[in-house]
Amino acid sequence: MKMLDKRFVVLFAVIGIVVLYLVSVVSQPELVALNDVKNSEGKNVTVKGIVVEKYQTKNGNTIMNISDNNTWVSVFVKETVDAEPGDEIRVTGSVQKYKNMYEIVASDIEILKKWDENYIELKQLKSNPEKYEGININVTGFAVSIKHNEFYFSDNISKIRVEIVKSTVLPAENQKIFVKGKFVKGKTEQNGNGFEYRFEYFIKLDRYGVLNE
């Protein structure tokens, strides 16, 4: 009889664990694409995206804009967040409308990939600059045309300007390096025909390092 009772206890324990697991799975917020957030007002959702902008309010809250290439959504967090522009994150929270725009009030944020963990190639940067505009990047190539306040970054096919914003030891000419910094679009020097300016994408250098051949 006691053996039978023990079996019932074990059976009910297993059933309880299975039920709890099924409840947790069912209650998980739905994973939705950013362009579908507008259809989920009032619901709890989970989304993934790249942080493109981040602001800290005077009250200690964090506001981030995240993107998945084609769409961006604002995320409101009632605390400080370690994520930086360029990081890939997963956000879980409720969708609400604020000033005629949909946003996610986050209950949980997970950093999936830090912006400086993986290198990107210069050709990726040049082929789709809008994708990376305003975010931190980590790109590899060769340093050329070095000056005291800038140098160019080349892959022997194309090149891009790197602006040195703080004192640093300059790389050697044609040295293979990685560059970490913010990819921005800005107004450059006037040309020789008067006060006409041109706009270009360039990298504001945070730091660089030498790569072994």
Tell me: the pLDDT tens digits for 116-157?
Answer: 888 888 998 998 898 888 899 999 999 999 998 999 999 999
> 82 pLDDT exceeds 80?
yes
On the question of a common fold for 30-113 and 120-210, the answer reads yes
In the chain, the percentage of residues whose pLDDT exceeds 70 is 81
Q: Are strands 62-67 and 72-77 parallel, antiparallel or unpaired?
A: antiparallel
> 16 pLDDT exceeds 80?
no
80 and 118 in contact (C-beta within 8 Å)?
no
The predicted pLDDT at position 65 comes to: 95
* 120-210 fold: OB fold (Dihydrolipoamide Acetyltransferase, E2P) (2.40.50)
Q: pLDDT, tens digit, for every residue of 176-213?
A: 999 999 999 987 665 555 555 678 899 999 999 998 76
The predicted pLDDT at position 3 comes to: 52
Q: pLDDT, tens digit, for every residue of 97-122?
A: 988 899 999 999 999 999 988 888 89
What rounded mean pLDDT belongs to the chain?
85
- The domains of the chain are located at 30-113, 120-210
> 89 pLDDT exceeds 70?
yes
> pTM of this prediction?
0.72
The mean pLDDT value for 77-95 works out to 94
The mean pLDDT value for 33-46 works out to 92
| Other CB atoms within 10 A of residue 73 CB | 21
Q: How far apart are CA 179 and CA 143, in angstroms?
A: 10
Strands (E), 79-174: 88-98, 101-113, 120-121, 136-144, 150-154, 159-164
CA distances from 63 to 36, 59, 68, 71, 76 (A): 20, 11, 17, 17, 5
CATH code: domain 30-113 is: 2.40.50.140
The predicted pLDDT at position 25 comes to: 43
